[in-house]
Structure 1
Amino acid sequence: MDLSNIQGVMVIVGPILLAIAIAWAMLHNRGSRKDVAHTEAATRERYDQQDREDKARQNGGVA
């Protein structure tokens, strides 16, 4: 095999392997419904806490 044949194989096989690796990572990086629900609840609580702090600051420190 000369260099041009190896490069030809790499040009064809490389993107295929890359696409497979990206697809595998996307499928295995998803959180479970429980994890997503926990994250959403924590985010809502943090926003509520920040909102209470902002209102207290606007009212002169009285919540």
Structure 2
Amino acid sequence: MDLSSLQGIMVIVGPILLAIAIAWAMFHNKGSRQEVQATEDATRRMYDQQDRDDKARDNGGVA
């Protein structure tokens, strides 16, 4: 097997292995429903707090 045939195999097999690795990572990178819900709740609380802070600042410090 010479260098050009090895390079040809790598050009074909490389992208296939990369696609498999990306697909595996996408399917195994999901959190549980409880984790996702906890994140959503924390984000909502953070936005609500920021909104209250903005309104207090706009009203001269009165919430």
**TM-score after normalising by structure 1:** 0.94
Shift of 1:4: 1.0
Which string of whole-angstrom CA distances, capped at 9 and with x for unpartnered residues, describes residues 10-58 of structure 1?
0111111000000011111111111110010001000110111111111
Determine the C-alpha separation between the residues in 2 that align with 1:42 and 1:50.
12
Determine the C-alpha separation between the residues in 1 that align with 2:58 and 2:14.
58
Letter in 2 for 1:53: D
Aligned equivalent of 1:54: 54
Aligned equivalent of 2:17: 17
Q: When the two structures are aligned, how many residues end up with a matched partner?
A: 63
Unmatched 5+ residue regions in structure 2?
Answer: none
Determine the C-alpha separation between the residues in 2 that align with 1:50 and 1:11.
51
**TM-score after normalising by structure 2:** 0.94
Aligned equivalent of 2:27: 27
Moved over 2 A (4+): none
Determine the C-alpha separation between the residues in 2 that align with 1:38 and 1:44.
10
Question: RMSD across aligned C-alpha pairs, in angstroms?
Answer: 0.7
